[in-house]
Amino acid sequence: MAAKKNELKKDDKNKEQSDVDKIQTQIETSSLTEPEGRSAFRKLFMKLGEKVGTIKISELSQDYLDQVKEVDSYKEMLCKLAESIMHVMQQNPKLVPKAESKMEFECPLNEDPMELLGISLEGMRGDFSAHVQALQACINACTKLTVLRRSYHKRGRRAIHSIRTFINVDYVCRTCFNIILLNNQRQQLIKCREEMDFAKHEYANNPTEQKKESCNKAIAKFNEQSEEVFKALGTIQSKKEKHRLELIKILDEMRKYHRSAAEECLLVCKSKW
């Protein structure tokens, strides 16, 4: 009987020790992993400190700021250039899209001005029975000019491929193992800076080994993201050269089209009415 009581006491003691160990483990774990809500609150508190100037924000390098400003300005200028090119080639402002699009500015089927003119001339055959040959020459010219214009628009759009790609792909995203939005990449850099500032702030207020490690990781992540953004920005100069060559190419396409159109119109002028 006494032995049984001793066993019961021993079991109770082991249970109490187990409960103590669980409580101790919870305390240690809670000190290692801070609740997300508390961390978010402290980040918010830090944000307020940044706003009122009590907490210093890590400044981005002037080189980075200058390059970003240059890219943004260049993209804005390139959009205006692309839209101007489309206006010159299309001439109907209703059919000219914004640069931040597929830039498809070709006339819909049966809506090209020359197509419409050809249809109108076809309906006038009865009124110009004495000048059928001259009228037919005009109709033929309209048909050929329509083909020329459509080909001109297609070739012109292809000629500014790199410009279109820069505006709608390169500026928006770049390839680096996976598709990363360039604007998002820049936002990610800002986010990394915020995380780094928070880690520095936490370590300064409570310098523990864990927070020191977190601080070092945040700094390394920020530096890595900075390199990615600089790498993307560094490709702009080579793209500018491609855009310059495309501008020359589009002017040459304009020359070819207007020369061919003039030749067709000359045939009409030689017709006898």
Per-residue pLDDT of 189-225, as tens digits, reads 777 777 777 777 677 777 878 777 877 887 787 777 7
53-57, 75-79, 232-236 — most confident range: 75-79
What is the token pair recorded at 10?
Answer: 């021993």
What is the token pair recorded at 123?
Answer: 């309906």
Domain-located, residue 261: yes
Domain-located, residue 165: yes
Domain-located, residue 51: no
Domain-located, residue 118: yes
Residue 26 has pLDDT above 90, yes or no: no
Whether the CB-CB separation of 199 and 39 falls below 8 Å is answered with no
Domain-located, residue 30: no
Domain-located, residue 79: yes
Q: Which residues contact 115 (CB under 8 A, 6 or more apart)?
A: 107, 142, 146
pLDDT the model gives residue 177: 29
Averaged pLDDT, 119-146: 90
Averaged pLDDT, 77-100: 96
Q: Which residue did the predictor score with more confidence, 172 or 156?
A: 156
Residue at token pair 């400044």:
59
pLDDT the model gives residue 237: 84
pLDDT the model gives residue 12: 56
Q: Which residues contact 99 (CB under 8 A, 6 or more apart)?
A: 78, 79, 80, 82, 83, 167
CA distance 93 to 261: 21
pLDDT the model gives residue 191: 75
Residue 42 has pLDDT above 50, yes or no: yes
Residue 103 has pLDDT above 60, yes or no: yes
Beta strands in 129-256 (DSSP E): 173-176, 178-181
State the pLDDT confidence band at 142, using cuts at 50, 70 and 90. very high
State the pLDDT confidence band at 54, using cuts at 50, 70 and 90. low
Domain-located, residue 47: no
Domain membership of residue 120 as a residue range: 59-177+237-270
Q: Would you call 173 helix, strand, or coil by DSSP? A: strand
pLDDT the model gives residue 44: 56
Beta strands at 178-181 and 173-176: parallel, antiparallel or unpaired: antiparallel
State the pLDDT confidence band at 87, using cuts at 50, 70 and 90. very high
Residue 35 has pLDDT above 90, yes or no: no
Please name which of 103, 230, 243, 98 lies closest in space to residue 166, comparing C-alpha atoms: 243
The domain tally of the chain equals 1
Amino acid at 156: G
Domain-located, residue 122: yes
Q: Which residues contact 191 (CB under 8 A, 6 or more apart)?
A: none
